[in-house]
Structure 1
Amino acid sequence: MLSFGELGGMPTGAMAPPRQIPPLAMPRPPPKHYSSPSLSLGPPTGLDGQREVSQTADNEQQQKNKEEEYESRSGSDNMEGGSGDEDPDNNHPRKKRYHRHTPRQIQEMEMLFKECPHPDDKQRQQLSKDLGLEPRQVKFWFQNRRTQMKAQTERAENSMLRAENEKVRSENLIMREALKNPQCPHCGGPATVGEMTFDEQQLRIENVRLKEELDRVSALAAKYLGRPITPMAPLALPSSSLDLQVGGGSSFGGMHPTPGNLDLVAGPSVADVATRPGGLTEAEKPMVVELAMMAMEELVRMAQAEEPLWLSMDSGKAQLNYDEYMRQFPRGIGMRPSGLKPEATRETALVMMNGVNLVETLMDATQWMDMFPCMVSRALTVDVLSTGVTGNRNGALQLMYAELQVLSPLVPTREIYFLRYCKQHAEGVWAVVDVSVDSLRDNPPPSLMRCRRRPSGVLIQDTPNGYAKVTCVEHMEYDDRAVHRMYRELVNTGMAFGAQRWLATLQRQCERLASLLASNIASRDLGGVPSASGRRSMLKLAQRMTNNFCAGVSASTVHTWTTLSGSGDDDVRVMTRKSVDNPGEPHGIVLSAATSMWLPVSPARVFQFLRDERLRSEWDILSNGGIVTEMAHIAKGQDPGNSVSLLRVNAMNSNQSNMLILQESCTDVSGSLVIYAPVDIPAMNLVLQGGDPAYVALLPSGFAILPDGPGGERGSLGVDQGSQLTESSRGTGSLLTVAFQILVSSIPSARLSLESVATVNNLISCTVQRIKSALLVEDA
């Protein structure tokens, strides 16, 4: 046998390309030798004596290894002196003698094993001395005992897993038998679901059952095998975000968690589907490109078409003819799933931005969120399939996820998983189209089917004056069952997520950007701010305040609202979050509270009342009746309602300190916002001098005002008129959302007390009552 030690002396020629080596004629060794001399492929040497010494040492090492092997055969039966080696004198193996440990020895070793299954050398030496055993015997006894325990544990675990698996199989068989003949519990007749065949229904139910079976077995296996096994994500309602410090086991009456978006069907959420690893397969990418091109063609035709595709209404709006739509666009993304409502709107307006910059804003997820903070709660780019040609976005194609919102916890957000494709059709003519990708694969998750985005987007045409004419088409299919009845008309008429709201917001935000980037500001237009740089810093701080407010008011899937006792329509909802290492917010536990209500007052009147600093003391409890004066005022556009103000609350007596409040008001034909936050006086002085506003801590509160429905003649977003809000352009009622954010503890690990919840509940309730009283609204 060729040993590793001899490879070192092998001549280089021995490693030549392989060839068949004829067997060497070797003399048969004498019987008394138990190992043949090693075969050397090198030239013979004169070291025969040294080789014999090496062989003798190898034999002794083999004898020692065999002794240890035989002594480790059993935990309590050991060979006495048996090495397993053969007697070199008589060529007969020595008789193997076993030594059985005494009960006392076993008992002592068992006692130590329970306390320490892995004794060290010192413990083994002491135990061998006490029991009269060799240290090696003690070592091997513990070794074998550990092996026995491991084997017993594995057998028990396997038995439990087999029993559980048999139980699951039996339950599965019972369910299959029961599904063969389903019966209606009311009439006793055969039962089927909707337009689905019985076989399809049976397969769907079986799939759900198998998923549950996989989850159960995976959890059990993870428990007993000691390693995690990832099952399919189960459906679980998010728990309440409130961690209340309650004494004596009492609870806060009337509190129950309200998930931001209730999943009606089991399965992964849209965010889970969008962010799962792997993304699109190579086989799906050609399908995606074809889908994007089809969607682009449909968008351009819908943006330019008139009757019979779009029917003119008495209100001046256009309504989609769905029969004509299905005739002209038979390919699309398939038929509308049952239970979903259609929503199609189209608007055209001039915006203060050129086409290239507008396209760049839409194709960047972060810029898109900043442009539409009151409409886009979350957005991310999942995969970039094409960046377009060099220098611009022509041909850019990307897979995206977004969550669209209305600023009220009573309206569920719309989660969409979609393609966004940009194309330049001519010089100065661009189009950006979105389309859902739920039709790429068979049996898409139910979450993708609760909101589908048919080809929607914008057609952009540059104008000579630096503006852009934008035609927006919004075409959605959605499930409105979770929408509160107070907001249902707003949603079903397309005013909540339709084209008019997108374009109105875009117009207002483009005016804000123009005001922010303006360099030649006259001194009279600084509005009391010392410099142009201070004006820009103040506008940036106000924009961050508004974005923060909009991100924490809606029924986003990342929020878990807890409903406090109320009268039903004006329930107060609260949630908590931790603010850690965020320079733009105070450090600690933040409590948010919000409520929505209907007021029989026009949105214009509500907006003017809430934004007027002279009337602030009529509703703002925190001002303590102090006199509020405006120290600085910055206009953000043509409408005087779009502005940023710095307010000073002068204390009524010397025991109170003065307070600064930063306030931003925004308005357009789709709705209005009044947002404010107390600011630190030294920090605000730095901002007014042009300092960085990113480190000013803010906790914004405020109001979101929406019309309660179409109600009368509404203002238009025509290309030749502005978006100024007037009484005549609004309906007769308003939907008002009031939201507060309060720092309840500066310690992030603190638990929320019931007193804090009661305080914010009283604060928001009193504010609502003051607003109603000031507007002469009587409680129903």
Structure 2
Amino acid sequence: MDSGEEQDVPDSQGRKKRYHRHTPRQIQELESMFKICPHPDEKQRMQLSRDLGLEPRQIKFWFQNRRTQMKAQQERSDNCLLRAENDKIRCENIAMREALKNVICPSCGGPPATDDTYFDEHKLRLENARLKEELDRVSSLASKYLGRPIPQLPPVQPVSISSLDLSVGGYSNPGISPSLDLDLLCRSSSSAYPYAFPAAVSEIEKPLMVELATNAMEEVIRLVQTDEPLWVKSGDGKDILQLDTYDRMFQRPGQQLKFPDIRIEASRDSAIVFMSTITLLDMFMDANKWVELFPTIVSKARTIEVLASGMAGSRSGSLVLMYEEIQVLSPVVPTREFCFLRYCQQIDQGMWALADVSVEYPQDGQLASSSRSRRLPSGCLIEEMPNGYSKITWVEHNEIEEKNPIHMLFRDLITSGMAFGAHRWVTTLQRMCERFACLTAAGLPSRDLGVAPSPDGKRSMMKLAQRMVSNFCANVGASNGHKWTTLSGSNDVGVRVTLHKSTDAGQPNGVVLSAATSIWLPISAESVFSFFKDERTRTQWDVLSNGNTVQEVAHISNGSHPGNCISLLRGLNSGQNTMLILQECCTDASGSVVVYSPIDLPAINIVMSGEDPSYIPILPSGFTILPDGRSAGGQGASSSSNPMGGSSGSLVTVAFQILMSSLPSAKLNLESVMTVNNLISTTVQQIKAALNCSDII
């Protein structure tokens, strides 16, 4: 939490302006006064001003904001109570009507007279009219207090029991935990966000957000451009933020001492990327493009509101309120969620700065992540370079309070800063910029292996592979839209499963079962990646290939590293000449991904002809390979031949997606769970055997 001490902050004209944050004591005193008197007069405000060391104007605005919050909360509570009462009455009416159908007249043995039925329906109409009037009254009051119209509540849908039979009954199996919770909520493939975002930012909050973003921009520029003593180099060449110097420079003494359970993560890195500055800014400021640019890091993002659109063509002056969820590609590592302001500003000819800073918005919203994450002023400086290149210097500065202990398997990776630090963002950006360049290039490099697609066909295959990787990344992490249930397993992570209904275009319709596990291997991440990438060793881990070798029939390079490529594989002697495998391999200094999906011959013909692949159904499975974060002899520097750098081992996540049924009403039985559990377990055993790691538990 920020301290309440005042500081001088220079504005854009170099003048000093006072910036103040309330201390916990000030807030406590204000809250106590608010409970006694929500509308203090001028004399009371002056007394509070003297007691708390605040200006009367600050006291006045605090009470105004607090009253607005209380009124909005009360109206939301009233709406919820009214809706619950409406649901209760509706259910009672339905039950009464059903009971009346079975009533028998004691005199004649026939059904009840129709007059009674009409009378009951008439009472229902009167009651519904009364409830509608009450709802209109509450909505009118809420509209008056909030300053904007409140939309009518949607009609209440009848609550239906899930058609998925998720109970295991009395069946006992030694391979599955007896306490297994199979109450898996069948989510949609377009999973919801953790809370309902408000329709608009209030006029009171906008000036505060603009000031917050401006101050964050000034801090980010200083963080990027200042070296020692603010940043010092570690033994492996990484920039380390000196927190004491940071507190003195930004006049925040004692900030880190107030909450010993909160961990500060700060990192800085820079790189040259093959993408124009304007294109980068456009993708950074657009939430959908932001996810597309970082599919392995950003699991979901949304623009809540555009507060300022900025200059056309340069994005300078743009200010947006955004939400994002970032992840490590494993169901073991909780995601981090941020609600933050993103501000873009051109600071010189050919130079732009981007600043992010968290905001407590919506005021009463709680993010669903198991860790409290707050983005301190972070961002990047982007310099325009010749020939379509840009130099980017990235700063990550976050305040993290873990609610649950970090899983021991990923503890070193996270605490070292490799999981969420600037280095991961920059190296991923380098790789993705190369991929986008290959996608838009006039002549795409390929290897003629018997299938020679046209340039349009190569682009179509790259787009399909990109969607395949994005789908895989969205379904392998611990996003709050997932509900992973742990089965028993041979390691402390265990096999984890989750269900979702697949309804999006480009995915098979029905119920999809996802299963994943993570393991540690005492082998470098680069060696493990080479093992998975090589089609000659595929039979050693692919339990679905039935021992049949595969042949690469098409190859597209999508980056300078030879490991970044898209392949089309064909099984030999499999008896299924109509089925091929589309595979994409991605690797950079932060980790690697190998994703594949079966695809039939008619679909491949559509892709090769250059047609739109958006509606070709794919269901990807694959692997993520990460360095374990442990230093190997202090040699952590990376190189072009060893992009992972020196690491003593690797963290491998194995993930499968299986279409259980094309019917959304399909039932999940224990046999399906056992099948996918055995599939994952056998794959892990074969990987360890092939890499001579069978003794690793």
Same fold (TM over 0.5): yes
User: What amino acid is the match of 1:359?
Assistant: L
Match of 1:709 in 2: 629
Contact 1:241 1:575 in 2 (8 A): no
Does residue 579 (structure 1) correspond to residue 499 (structure 2)? The answer is no
Matched residue SS, 2:505: coil
- The Cα of 1:725 is off from its aligned counterpart by 3.1
* Residue deviations 1:591-634 (CA, integer Å, cap 9, x gap): 10000011111101100001100110111011111121100111
Does residue 470 (structure 1) correspond to residue 386 (structure 2)? The answer is no
Match of 1:627 in 2: 549
Q: How does 1:55-454 map to 2 (within 5 A)?
A: 116=114, 118=116, 243-244=165-166, 246=168, 253-256=178-181, 271-272=193-194, 275-330=196-251, 337=259, 339-438=261-360, 445=366, 450-454=372-376
Matched residue SS, 1:691: coil
Does residue 746 (structure 1) correspond to residue 662 (structure 2)? The answer is yes
Contact 1:668 1:724 in 2 (8 A): no
Distance 1:673 1:272 in 2: 27
Matched residue SS, 1:280: coil
Equivalent in 561, 569, 572 of residue 492 of structure 2:
569
Q: Which runs of 5+ in 2 are unaligned?
A: 1-104, 131-152, 186-191
The worse-fitting range, judged by mean Cα deviation, of 472-481 and 769-778 is 472-481
Matched residue SS, 1:672: strand
* Residue deviations 1:386-414 (CA, integer Å, cap 9, x gap): 00023321000010000000000110000
CA pair 701-637 structure 1, distance change in 2 beyond 3 A? same
Contact 1:629 1:649 in 2 (8 A): yes
Match of 1:608 in 2: 530
CA pair 646-523 structure 1, distance change in 2 beyond 3 A? closer
Match of 2:408 in 1: 485
Matched residue SS, 2:409: helix
Does residue 725 (structure 1) correspond to residue 642 (structure 2)? The answer is yes
TM value normalised by structure 1? 0.65
Match of 1:558 in 2: 481
- The Cα of 1:730 is off from its aligned counterpart by 2.8
CA pair 446-745 structure 1, distance change in 2 beyond 3 A? closer
Distance 2:432 2:410 in 1: 25
- The Cα of 1:521 is off from its aligned counterpart by 4.3
Distance 1:259 1:472 in 2: 39
- The Cα of 1:306 is off from its aligned counterpart by 0.9
Distance 1:309 1:240 in 2: 56
Match of 1:675 in 2: 595
Q: How does 1:615-654 map to 2 (within 5 A)?
A: 615-652=537-574
User: What amino acid is the match of 2:248?
Assistant: R
Structure with the larger RCO, 1 or 2 (CA within 8 Å, 6+ apart): 2
Contact 2:278 2:313 in 1 (8 A): no
Contact 1:669 1:723 in 2 (8 A): no
Q: Which runs of 5+ in 1 are unaligned?
A: 1-106, 121-141, 155-226, 231-238, 261-269
Equivalent in 365, 378, 381 of residue 456 of structure 1:
378
Distance 2:265 2:162 in 1: 33
* Residue deviations 1:109-160 (CA, integer Å, cap 9, x gap): 999997555377xxxxxxxxxxxxxxxxxxxxx89xx99xx99xx9xxxxxx
Distance 2:183 2:216 in 1: 37
Matched residue SS, 2:484: strand
User: What amino acid is the match of 1:255?
Assistant: L
Distance 1:770 1:319 in 2: 41
Distance 2:463 2:677 in 1: 31
Matched residue SS, 1:323: helix
Identity %: 51
Matched residue SS, 1:598: strand
Distance 1:116 1:558 in 2: 49
CA pair 629-446 structure 1, distance change in 2 beyond 3 A? closer
CA pair 381-723 structure 1, distance change in 2 beyond 3 A? farther
CA pair 114-349 structure 1, distance change in 2 beyond 3 A? same
Contact 1:241 1:561 in 2 (8 A): no
Match of 1:540 in 2: 463
Distance 1:402 1:596 in 2: 24
User: What amino acid is the match of 1:588?
Assistant: G
- The Cα of 1:501 is off from its aligned counterpart by 0.2
User: What amino acid is the match of 1:375?
Assistant: I
User: What amino acid is the match of 1:368?
Assistant: W
CA pair 330-620 structure 1, distance change in 2 beyond 3 A? same
Distance 1:119 1:760 in 2: 54
The worse-fitting range, judged by mean Cα deviation, of 533-542 and 385-394 is 385-394
Match of 1:198 in 2: none
Contact 1:667 1:725 in 2 (8 A): no
Match of 1:516 in 2: 439
CA pair 585-724 structure 1, distance change in 2 beyond 3 A? farther
- The Cα of 1:523 is off from its aligned counterpart by 7.6
CA pair 525-659 structure 1, distance change in 2 beyond 3 A? closer
Distance 2:211 2:253 in 1: 11
Distance 1:552 1:466 in 2: 34
CA pair 314-730 structure 1, distance change in 2 beyond 3 A? closer
Distance 1:368 1:457 in 2: 14
Does residue 663 (structure 1) correspond to residue 586 (structure 2)? The answer is no
